[in-house]
Structure 1
Amino acid sequence: MKTLYLDYKPQYVRVAVADDNNELVDFSIEKTAARGVVGNIYKGKVENVLSGMKACFVNIGLERNGFLHVGQTLVEGSTPTGETLNLSPGDSVLCQVVKDQFGEKGVRLSQDITLPGRYLVFLPRSEFVSVSRRITDEERKAELENLVRSALPEGMGAICRTAAEKASSEEILSELSELEELWKNLLERYSRAQEKTAIFKEDDLLLRALRDLRFNDLKKIVVNDKMAYDMAVSEFSDVPVEFYDKPQNILLHYGLGAQIDSLLSRKVKLQNGGEIVIDKTEALNVIDVNTGKYVGGKNLEDTVFMTNLAAAKEIAKQIRLRNLGGIIIIDFIDMTEQAHKEEVLRTLKEEVKSDGMRTNVVSMTSLGLVELTRKRKRVSIDSYLLQKCPYCDNGYVISNEHRIMALREKLVRALSEENVSALLVGLNPEIADALFTTRMLSKECSTIWKHKRIYVVGDANIPKTGEKILAMVGSVLTLPSNARMLY
């Protein structure tokens, strides 16, 4: 059974899913000011056509033009809208973002449109009909497919989502009707809209989580925001929803903070003492497997096999949690027995089946290398939690926003002490400025800290990783001349 945790703040949303052992099985984060554009639908303008590649670049109003290929589809198994690109420079085109901008590359676009609902994903430009692979009851799958096929307009398709398994025919058909109406409205908006504008915007992470994370084994939802709580209650009539109102961050309170922080580490320890090392480049991700301290096998081959087996399971988990996409090369430790190689590969393929993103595992080479491709849709987790190093411009450091999240918990502890009425907080000037510009703690200052005072001082002698917190007990606090009151 799984528990869904929603950490909702004005500046960001974090969504975590944990199993009965309180192990993190899914994690997402989205900044309000830096939302991705995947799922958005635009009226674009064709800038230039690459006839030999059956592709073109389309201006949709973003910093970089998007790339549209005639063979780009959104759904595995479906066929592209057309075999030829009947577009010329200056033409208008209805297109949807399928991949966020990555590095120096603009967004990836498709003319195939998907409109997601709670039970269905509507495909108005495709006749493809399918049922979620997570529904294993063959009789129910056939029922759903027949129901949807009989109700779909000619030339249109749909995918039955996992939540459809327990839905009634009336609920499914009602949603299909709503999605058809939405498509008609979008076509109308497209006819009236200016070029390079969005005519449909995908839901934010909170709404997507409530719509998409409808596990059959979901036992509870815990939310720390009243608005989000009300939305969850209205969406999930069959799952208990709890409101969390304690000062400590919800994910820390439930013991998930350390697991989330570990997603920033290159090295991941395996339970048997081995480890995997994850490195990221512009072109691909590389994962190296090491035996580490594990020497428990009967012989070297057995030790290597057991380490690779444990690594295969952990790698599938880390890829999902970190949202790694594109090409992933896994360097397993060399094994001599063919049966061991096949078992490690089989385990890896089995473990990635639970991943919601399309993942393809290629065979193992004689050197123990495995190539894996995973659909890149949204940016990886470290893109939210890390930022470019300002000194070398090559590496990455923990983002200012993530440091402020950690600072928040220290302020919570300091202000919970008896008789503390104010704090003087010394921070590195860059972190201090970020604290004011992002206003990440504005909600706390207006609610749980509204009767407290927090003064911030920038001090170049304090590293970005540190802080100095002085608590005031009583009514008199001597402040430096450069102290600023927080909000």
Structure 2
Amino acid sequence: MKRMLMHGHGELLQTAVLLGERLIDFFMEQSESSGMVGNVYKGRVVNVLPGMQAAFVDIGLGKNAFLYIDDLLHPHLEKQPEQKPSITELVKPGQELVVQVMKEPMGSKGARVTTHFTLPGRWLVYMPIAGYVGVSKKIMAESERSRIRMIGERLRQGEEGIIMRTAAEGECQESLGADVEQLRKLWTGIQERSLTAKAPSELHREAGLLRRAVRDTLTDDIDEVWLDDASRYGEAAALLEEMTPHLVDRLKLFDARREKTSLFDRFGVTEQIDAAFQSRIRLESGGSLVWDETEALTVIDVNTAKYTGAIDLEDTVFNTNMEAADEIARLLRIRDVGGIIIIDFIDMENESNREKVMNRLSDWAKRDRTKCTVFGWTRLGLLELTRRKARDNAARQLNERCPACGGTGKKSSALHV
């Protein structure tokens, strides 16, 4: 049984996905300050830095947005110049520019923006100027990849680009064509607004978490969808009627007053979330993970702890590492970790065991909704991977920095005279 639970409390919406009773995905958003990734703005170039091949653009968010030269050049690699020009040849201070947010402001950094526009639909992603058709790597059958690629080529016009999402597998041309037409009209509206809008101003706001969850996460393998907010339940029902009417009967309203408990408590989510965000996570075998996050880097240490195994040391270490790989993949999704991730697995003598552990994590990475790349073992025996970072992760949204220790988890023991 696979369930999606949506807990609404005022402006906050939290979404959890359970496989059986186990939490496998979690995301949250404050609707009053909803995510900016995907929003389109008309901005004004404030400063151009040739030494960094970048520009800063005022899009009306307080902090200027960062625009790198690669996000100004044509999105199709075959249509880019052999040598990159200086960014001073492409933009000037005071120039007005339409851009899309690709990374939200984080810490002291402003948003990162691009001119490679992408508008996601239910079945595909529409790109106004990409000039190619792509197919999700998660669609494995070559015959199906060829079929929907051909449909994409028939549907796109001129310089348009299309990426067929995993959900497009098995869909007919009529459904895919309707998606393209809707997104094409959306882009036309953005262009028309950009002609009269004064910079800086917002031209398009990406869908909120509820719509994104229905569009991106609610697939045919979800057996039940529970909401505990009556108004959001009505909105979700309308979205399902629009996008996937055959799933409407899977939508259920949870009455917390009648049940005398919260939706997340009823399905054991609260306890699992609390455990997932600890700095030390216990494994079922008795091993443990020690988790340490900074703004750009996450380090995970794997320990055998109380697990002693039953055969020999190599077997004990291998089993602990395999279990840790599964748990780390799950926690990366729940905590929505992005950036560079370094995992210090327990040392293994057997090279084939090292390969099995890396392959296990690679298999999980392929199923991740967020782009995740496993690079392999470093010379120091650490496993290195990256995960796309677009928003502040859930840990920073759920937790506040401790005013006493400043987030270090340590208290000075020095004597003050």
TM-score, scaled relative to structure 2:
0.89
Measure the CA separation in 2 of the matches of 1:250 and 1:394: 31
Residues 1:262 and 1:282: Cα distance change in structure 2 (over 3 Å):
same
Aligned length: 396
- The alpha carbon displacement at 1:387 in A equals 0.8
Measure the CA separation in 2 of the matches of 1:317 and 1:169: 35
Contact kept? 2:314, 2:348, Cα under 8 Å: yes
Query: Any idea what SS the aligned residue of 1:44 has?
Result: strand
Q: After superposition, where does 1:8-407 map in structure 2 within 5 Å?
A: 8-19=8-19, 21-72=20-71, 83-84=84-85, 85=87, 86-234=90-238, 235=240, 236-239=244-247, 240-247=250-257, 248-395=261-408
Contact kept? 1:78, 1:128, Cα under 8 Å: no
Query: Any idea what SS the aligned residue of 1:218 has?
Result: coil
- The alpha carbon displacement at 1:168 in A equals 2.9
* Range with bigger deviation, 159-168 or 327-336: 159-168
Q: Which amino acid aligns with 2:252?
A: E
- The alpha carbon displacement at 1:198 in A equals 1.0
Residues 1:133 and 1:27: Cα distance change in structure 2 (over 3 Å):
same
Measure the CA separation in 1 of the matches of 2:284 and 2:80: 47
Contact kept? 1:81, 1:126, Cα under 8 Å: no
Measure the CA separation in 2 of the matches of 1:112 and 1:158: 12
Runs of 4+ in 1 over 6 A off after TM superposition: 76-82
- The alpha carbon displacement at 1:351 in A equals 1.5
Residues 1:269 and 1:78: Cα distance change in structure 2 (over 3 Å):
farther
Compute the RMSD of aligned alpha carbons: 2.3
Measure the CA separation in 2 of the matches of 1:368 and 1:209: 38
Residues 1:218 and 1:136: Cα distance change in structure 2 (over 3 Å):
farther
Work out which of the two has the higher radius of gyration on C-alpha atoms and give 1 or 2: 1
Q: Which amino acid aligns with 1:246?
A: A
Query: Any idea what SS the aligned residue of 1:52 has?
Result: coil
Spell out, residue by residue over 1:383-418, the C-alpha distance to the aligned partner (whole angstroms, 9 max, x if none).
111012223333489xxxxxxxxxxxxxxxxxxxxx
Measure the CA separation in 1 of the matches of 2:34 and 2:72: 23
Structure with higher RCO (Cα < 8 A, 6+ apart): 2
Q: Which residue of 2 aligns with 1:459?
A: none
Spell out, residue by residue over 1:331-352, the C-alpha distance to the aligned partner (whole angstroms, 9 max, x if none).
1111122111111111111111
- The alpha carbon displacement at 1:187 in A equals 0.6
Contact kept? 1:73, 1:79, Cα under 8 Å: no
Contact kept? 2:8, 2:229, Cα under 8 Å: yes
Residues 1:268 and 1:341: Cα distance change in structure 2 (over 3 Å):
same
Q: Which amino acid aligns with 1:148?
A: G
Measure the CA separation in 2 of the matches of 1:393 and 1:318: 24
Measure the CA separation in 2 of the matches of 1:135 and 1:233: 28
Measure the CA separation in 1 of the matches of 2:263 and 2:26: 14
Is 1:7 the counterpart of 2:7? The answer is yes
Residues 1:77 and 1:349: Cα distance change in structure 2 (over 3 Å):
farther
Spell out, residue by residue over 1:64-118, the C-alpha distance to the aligned partner (whole angstroms, 9 max, x if none).
11111122499x9977877544101111111111111122111111110011111
Query: Any idea what SS the aligned residue of 2:246 has?
Result: coil
Measure the CA separation in 2 of the matches of 1:395 and 1:196: 38
Mark the runs of 5 or more structure 2 residues left unpaired by the alignment: 411-417
Residues 1:298 and 1:338: Cα distance change in structure 2 (over 3 Å):
same
Contact kept? 2:76, 2:131, Cα under 8 Å: no
Q: Which residue of 2 aligns with 1:477?
A: none
Measure the CA separation in 2 of the matches of 1:357 and 1:345: 18
TM-score, scaled relative to structure 1:
0.77
Measure the CA separation in 1 of the matches of 2:79 and 2:370: 19
Q: Which amino acid aligns with 1:223?
A: L
